[in-house]
Chain A
Amino acid sequence: NAGVTQTPKFRILKIGQSMTLQCAQDMNHNYMYWYRQDPGMGLKLIYYSVGAGITDKGEVPNGYNVSRSTTEDFPLRLELAAPSQTSVYFCASSPTQSMTQHFGDGTRLSIL
Chain B
Amino acid sequence: QKEVEQDPGPLSVPEGAIVSLNCTYSNSAFQYFMWYRQYSRKGPELLMYTYSSGNKEDGRFTAQVDKSSKYISLFIRDSQPSDSATYLCAMSGGNNAGNMLTFGGGTRLMVKP
Contact = CB atoms under 8 A, between A and B. Distances in A.
Contacts of A74: none
Given A49-B98, A50-B98, 9 more contacts: A41-B105, A43-B90, A45-B101, A56-B97, A56-B98, A99-B32, A99-B99, A102-B46, A105-B41
B44 A103 contact: yes
A100 B34 contact: yes
B108 to A, nearest CB: 9
Contacts of A42: 4, 6, 88, 103-106
Contacts, number: 61
B45 A99 contact: no
Given A41-B105, A43-B103, A100-B49, A90 B98 contact: no
Contacts of A58: 100
B16 interface: no
Contacts of B41: 105-106
Interface in A56-97: 56, 58, 90, 92, 94
A67 B4 CA distance: 29
Contacts of A33: 98, 100
B52 to A, nearest CB: 12
Interface of B: 4, 6, 8, 32, 34, 36, 41-46, 49, 88, 90, 92, 94, 97-101, 103-106
A94 to B, nearest CB: 6
29 contacts: A4-B43, A33-B98, A42-B4, A42-B6, A42-B103, A42-B105, A43-B44, A43-B90, A43-B101, A43-B103, A45-B101, A50-B98, A58-B100, A90-B43, A90-B44, A92-B43, A94-B99, A98-B99, A99-B32, A99-B34, A99-B92, A100-B34, A100-B49, A101-B101, A102-B46, A103-B44, A105-B41, A105-B42, A106-B42
Scoring B4, B8, B99, B104 by chain A CB atoms within 10 A of each residue's CB, the highest score goes to B99
A103 B97 contact: no
A40 interface: yes
